[in-house]
Amino acid sequence: MERSAHIDGIPVRRWTFGDRAHRLPAVFHHTWRASDGTLALVAANWTDRPVTLRVGDDRFVGARRLVVSTGDGITTEAHGAIVSLPRRSAILLT
């Protein structure tokens, strides 16, 4: 595993249930390096709203592929520093 990537724009979702107030980031993410040296970032948007993030981590400059998984299927696309996560989706950035 690697240190967490620097990502800007992750909103915090807040809600109250009963007498308890809750706060969680809308996107959870982690970074790792495969045995072949490939660096990857995985992120999941658990909310019912799309989220746009900026990957500001120099380790991902020049990354080649963004795989987006939603309830409608999996797509692969090119990307820049701005990454869009549809509602209830996950991405893999390599």
The predicted pLDDT at position 12 comes to 97
Mean predicted lDDT score pLDDT of the chain: 92
Euclidean distance between CA atoms 33 and 15, whole angstroms: 35
Task: Summarize the chain as % helix, strand, coil (round to 5).
Answer: 5, 55, 40
| Confidence band of 1 (pLDDT split at 50, 70, 90) | confident
Q: pLDDT digits over 41-75, tens only?
A: 999 999 999 999 999 899 988 777 899 999 999 99
- What residues does each domain of the chain span? 7-93
Nearest to 15 by CA among 42, 54, 49: 49
Lateral strand order in the sheet of 89-93? 27-33, 39-45, 89-93, 66-70, 73-77
Q: Is the pTM of this model over 0.75?
A: yes
Instruction: Give the model's pLDDT for residue 70.
Output: 95
| Third-level CATH fold of 7-93 | Immunoglobulin-like (2.60.40)
Cα end-to-end span (Å), the chain: 15
Contacts of 63 (CB under 8 A, 6+ apart): 39, 79, 93, 94
Stretch 1-5: mean pLDDT: 88
